[in-house]
Amino acid sequence: MAYRMVCLMKQVPDTRNISADVLREDGTVNRQALPAVVNPDDLFALEMALDVKDKHGGEITVMSMGPPAAIEVLKDAMSRGADHAILLTDKKFAGADTLATSHVLESAIRKNGPFNLIFCGRQAIDGDTAQVGPQVAEKLDIPQVTFAEAIEFLDKNDIVIRRAIEGGFERIRGRIPLLVTVTNTAANPRPPSIKRKMFWKKAQTRSSVQSEEERVMLSKRGLLIPVWGLAEVGCAAEICGFAGSETWIKHIENVKLTAHEPKCFDTSETGIKELINELINEHII
């Protein structure tokens, strides 16, 4: 059986290695200076989908909600072997919390047609929240398996998944359609193929092309990535973006680090000995 799959992928600022040069004087981060990357867990989600495609056949549609720049995520996914990509972008989608995000993703998935499997990353590194996947599953009224590490069996109706639990794992059997969130302990993502990467490098959206000729040319080569806004997704404006968010930021406080002076010891053997002796005398060690 060929499976219809959707993989949800997010573009995130790379919060993993925040170097000193992106930090402002007051300790806040200059977001613009951070590279935008594909959310790491989402590559594991895509890999799991690609593996299903390799073993059983099927088609993978990748969707990402974000600003126009999120097209980069889709190009990356296409270079790794996804079949279709849709960029979900609209001013009305901006400022979304996870609930509002899940409304847009749910509508887009429904709009895209029947599906057997939906894949998400376990969590996005900009918030580590891990909420969007389960929220989408609930709205689609389908089951979910979170923290998935491997699909061990799959046929027309049934699926067996190994999922991580604290201190171990579970093998869980059930039915599709299903939404799966994938951890970074699953199979490693394959690299993009160089050939596909070169090809997809040129991809654009309709609004970013400069001329009609270019549009026709890109469209002919299949390099025009569809963009769905509010109208195409068909979801009510009041449940999207900032308007649809039920978590409101009351305020943001910049934590001032007090000019606190720890007791300093130097790195010489004598310095370290002093520290250890002080800890021993104070019964700390």
Partner 1 sequence: MENGVWVFIENDLGTIADVSLELLCKGRELADQLGCELGCFIIGHQVSDAASDLIAFGADMVCVADHAQLVHYLTLPYTRIAVELIKEYRPSIVLIGATHTGRDLAPRIASHMRTGLTADCTDLQIGEYKFGKKIWKELLWQIRPAFGGNVIATIVTPETRPQMATVREGVFRQPEADPARKGTVVDLNPTLTEQDLIFKIVERVKAEKKVNLKAARIIVAGGMGVGSKDNFQLVRELARVLGGEVGATRAAVDAGFVGHERQIGQTGVTVRPNLYIACGISGAIQHRAGMQESSRIIAINTDSSAPIFSVAHYGITGDLNEVIPRMIKAYKEKD
What amino acid occupies position 138? E
Q: Which of residues 57-116 bind ligand AMP (CB under 6 A)?
A: 63-66, 98, 101
Q: Judged by CB under 6 A, does residue 271 bind ligand FAD?
A: no
120 binds ligand AMP (CB under 6 A): yes
Question: Least distance from C-beta 59 to ligand AMP, angstroms?
Answer: 18
Q: Which of residues 117-146 bind ligand FAD (CB under 6 A)?
A: 126-128
Residues 5 to 44: which contact ligand FAD by CB under 6 A? 15, 18
Question: Where does residue 241 rank: exposed (0-12), middle (13-18), buried (19+ CB within 10 A)?
Answer: buried
What residue type is assigned to position 115 of the chain?
Answer: F
Q: Specify the stretch interacting with ligand AMP by CB under 6 A; choose among 120-128, 153-161, 229-237, 243-251.
A: 120-128
Instruction: Please identify, using beta-carbon distances, which residue of 194 and 285 lies nearer to partner 1.
Output: 285
> Exposed, middle or buried, 133 (CB in 10 Å: 0-12/13-18/19+)?
buried
Phi first, then psi: give them for residue 219, nearest 5 degrees.
-60, -40
Residue 126: CB minimum distance to ligand FAD, A: 6
Start-end of H helices in 117-159 = 132-140
Helix (H, G, I), strand (E, B) or coil at 70: helix
Instruction: Identify which of 6, 60, 65 has the alpha carbon closest to the alpha carbon of residue 229.
Output: 65
Contact partner, 124, from ligand FAD, ligand AMP, partner 1, none, Cβ < 5-8 Å per class: ligand AMP
Among positions 87, 130, 230, 240, the unique one binding ligand AMP when judged by CB under 6 A: 130
Q: In angstroms, rounded to a whole number, what is the distance separating the alpha carbons of residues 28 and 254?
A: 8
| DSSP β-ladder status, 117-121 and 3-8 | parallel
CB of 285 to partner 1, least distance (A): 6
Closest distance of CB 271 from ligand AMP, Å: 44
Min dist CB 101 to ligand AMP, Å, is 5
Q: Quick one: which of 5, 6, 9, 179 contacts ligand AMP (CB under 6 A)? A: 9
